[in-house]
Structure 1
Amino acid sequence: MPTRRTVLSTLSAGVLAAGGLVAATPAPVWAAESSPVGYASLNGGTSGGSSSTVVTVTTAAALKSALSSGTSQTVRVSGLITISGMYSVASNKTVIGVGASSGITGGGFNLSGVRNVIIRNLVFRNASDDSINVQEGSTNIWIDHNDLANGYDGLIDIKRGSDYITVSWNRLHDHDKSMLLGHSDDNASQDLGKLRVTYKHNWFDGTNQRHPRVRFANPVHVLNNYYSNIGSYGVASTMNAGVFVERNYFENVANPTVTQTGDSDPGNIKVLNNYKVNSGTEQVRNGASVAAIPYSYTPQANNTVKATVVAGAGTGKI
């Protein structure tokens, strides 16, 4: 896996937030983490595929074969590969782009019932369905430093009882429905107690809605993301979900958070120290019903999030 970049920081002051010990960081900080922060670090952690078994692919056929192989390995994607439909990704894989412009166009990745997968530094364009679809109880997934745009449906959708996932440092743009968490109001039996996801340091750049749109999960952690020029809303919590929206930077966002959308029942949102520029007031509901975040983490000071995320999110930054 890529080595950790140097972290630029100042001394941190300890504070207590969200039920866990955290340290507030006042100065801009960004680094390509060598391991995930948040939920993907729990439940045994997320290490991805073997770093000693490496295959580099340049064609659709080679990519499809490598992704579906039962071998624990690192799959290096070189160039922008045109695919059709959804390619299945097996357990114990690290899928990583070479340089800043490698990835896929025309299709997407499907992670179904798998464990321990890392997807990093990839461009996703023009998917015929979802760009990345995580479903059927997949666990320990880390989606990091990708650039996603112009998909047909969701850019990163997580559903059907999937759990222990971190979505970090991605840039999403030129798209409507960005990130769904929980696909249906009728799926409580599979989703309750699951769908625990950390969203941190992502850049939602002119996208319209679902950043994320949450059902059932509690708690979901939305930390230090940058929302710029959002069309409909930022974060939505429905179906009694619990979402902690902490120290994000909202710029030109009329509705930073909403507690109901579509036909779904309302959900719960707790907010803490979000920074707003030309943006509306967050909606909150029954904040005491949002559970405590179960891991330690270091939040960044809210007013520095924009510069840090613009510098660090997307491809070519690891």
Structure 2
Amino acid sequence: MKTKLRMVQASLLAALSLGGFACSAADTGGFSNTTGGDSYTAVTVTNLSQLESAVSSGQHHIIVSGTIYGGAGLTTLTFSSASNNNTTIEGAAGGKAVLENIQLKFDGELLASGTNIQNIKVSNLTFFGKISDLQAMPQQVYGSSDSTKKVGINYEGISLRRVTNALITHCAIYDTSDDLMSVALSSDNVTLSYNHLYFSDSWVNMSPDPVWNWVGYNTDLAGERLAMVVGANTSDSWQGTGKLHVTLHHNWIGPNVRGRPLFRGWIHAYSNYFDNSETYSGTDYNTATDGNKYPKQQYEALQLVNGSVVYSESNYFLKTNNTNTLTNDGSSYTDAFYEKNNTYSGTTGTSATGTTFSSPVSYSYSVTASASVPAYVMANAGPK
């Protein structure tokens, strides 16, 4: 049975009707004024040393060719200076550029208050974690204990922290030990388009299945299959900051995603395919649950938390469980959920129903009819 949408105050509704943000360029859906460093001379890299050198020397247009391995201990490449404004990192044509055990972290936290890293573009890349390396890190393996093992590393494919005007497009991200990606800390004007976010069957069925303590209690790595988070905490929300405007369109989320996207931002999500086509047997491990076990099935697709506003249109939800979940985090912020023309096919559990809306934005965009979304998105999402 569907739950009733919690209504927000009249003042909030008036603010929402303004659309929140605008785009001045031609129709690409979302923030088409994000160009990154496309106009700069490109530097092509084929190994980790070259990639690290390109980043540390402040190159603005980096092309990745082939597979680059970040090592068994993983590598985080951090962009934390205003000199990193106007940067593009992209894969070479053909869709075969891969960053294995490598996280791109765009992090403006150390900049002056009110200043973000600007104009970032990441495209045409595959990111993934090597399962055997991750298995070798944690302190414990389910059913046993080994104090000689190193502490596991929580990392994502792409992390945007205090970044304004970013475009992540035609990327594939899978099998990372935290969320696959995040948009947080007052980041703003972000477009996520034509990406494929998922976990492999090998991840779901990994053996041994390590136990990681990354949220204050032990939980098995195979069970932490989380797609994305927008907003890091209660104060880092659209209502709390006036930021976190994010457009998601034509992304393929799944299969094997257990939960999320989690939204604390101002979200326009259209023509995305939420694919929960895989079925599971057995349980996962979690010391915060009764009996230390919980079912492997997906627990939610979209999670809306206080401080968020979500416009969901022309999306396709296949066999998702508890599809639209409204989560009260105990803060004074409210949430608002709007939807139209979505397709829910074989969905289960409890799901919130949104209020119908007219176009929430001033930028131009073109939806794909929800019935056509799975075929279209699967054919077009990911690196090319």
Bin the TM-score by the shorter chain. 0.7 to 0.9
Q: What secondary structure, in the 3-state scheme, does the structure 1 residue paired with 2:101 have?
A: strand
Q: What secondary structure, in the 3-state scheme, does the structure 2 residue paired with 1:253 have?
A: coil
Shift in alpha-carbon separation, 1:237–1:191, aligned structure 2, 3 A: same
Letter matched to residue 81 of structure 1: I
Letter matched to residue 134 of structure 1: L
Identity of aligned residues (%): 30
For 1:248, the equivalent position in structure 2 comes to 315
Normalized per residue, the structure richer in strand is: 1
Letter matched to residue 233 of structure 1: E
8 Å contact kept, 1:242–1:289:
no
For 1:85, the equivalent position in structure 2 comes to 75
- TM-score, normalised via structure 1 length: 0.79
8 Å contact kept, 1:111–1:134:
yes
Whole-angstrom distance in 1 between the partners of 2:41 and 2:158: 24
8 Å contact kept, 1:160–1:191:
no
Gaps of 5+ in 2: 1-16, 20-25, 109-116, 131-152, 200-223, 278-297
8 Å contact kept, 2:168–2:191:
yes
Give the Å deviation of 1:119.
0.5
Shift in alpha-carbon separation, 1:171–1:300, aligned structure 2, 3 A: same
For 2:150, the equivalent position in structure 1 comes to none
Matches within 5 A, 1:289-304: 292-304=360-372
| Aligned: 1:110 with 2:113 | no
Shift in alpha-carbon separation, 1:96–1:141, aligned structure 2, 3 A: same
Shift in alpha-carbon separation, 1:192–1:291, aligned structure 2, 3 A: farther
- TM-score, normalised via structure 2 length: 0.66
After superposition, the CA RMSD in angstroms is 2.8
For 1:11, the equivalent position in structure 2 comes to none
Letter matched to residue 86 of structure 1: T
For 2:234, the equivalent position in structure 1 comes to 185
Whole-angstrom distance in 1 between the partners of 2:75 and 2:40: 30
For 2:347, the equivalent position in structure 1 comes to 279
Shift in alpha-carbon separation, 1:189–1:53, aligned structure 2, 3 A: same
| Aligned: 1:269 with 2:337 | yes
8 Å contact kept, 1:91–1:115:
yes
Give the Å deviation of 1:82.
1.2
Q: What secondary structure, in the 3-state scheme, does the structure 2 residue paired with 1:87 have?
A: strand
8 Å contact kept, 1:235–1:258:
yes
Aligned length: 276
Shift in alpha-carbon separation, 1:248–1:126, aligned structure 2, 3 A: same
Match of 2:171 among 139, 146, 157: 146
Give the Å deviation of 1:290.
11
Gaps of 5+ in 1: 1-17, 21-33
Give the Å deviation of 1:88.
1.8
Give the Å deviation of 1:52.
4.8
Give the Å deviation of 1:86.
1.3
Alignment deviations for residues 215-245 of structure 1 (CA, whole Å, 9 cap, x no partner): 1x23x11110001117121111111311011
Whole-angstrom distance in 2 between the partners of 1:164 and 1:198: 8
Letter matched to residue 129 of structure 2: N
Shift in alpha-carbon separation, 1:289–1:184, aligned structure 2, 3 A: farther
Matches within 5 A, 1:202-281: 202-206=251-255, 207-210=257-260, 212-215=261-264, 217-218=265-266, 220-229=267-276, 231-260=298-327, 267-280=335-348
Q: What secondary structure, in the 3-state scheme, does the structure 1 residue paired with 2:58 have?
A: coil
Shift in alpha-carbon separation, 1:196–1:169, aligned structure 2, 3 A: same
Whole-angstrom distance in 1 between the partners of 2:45 and 2:55: 10
8 Å contact kept, 2:196–2:381:
yes
Give the Å deviation of 1:155.
1.1
Whole-angstrom distance in 2 between the partners of 1:197 and 1:183: 14
Give the Å deviation of 1:37.
2.0
Whole-angstrom distance in 2 between the partners of 1:95 and 1:244: 29
Whole-angstrom distance in 2 between the partners of 1:186 and 1:193: 11
Q: What secondary structure, in the 3-state scheme, does the structure 1 residue paired with 2:319 have?
A: strand
Shift in alpha-carbon separation, 1:290–1:146, aligned structure 2, 3 A: same
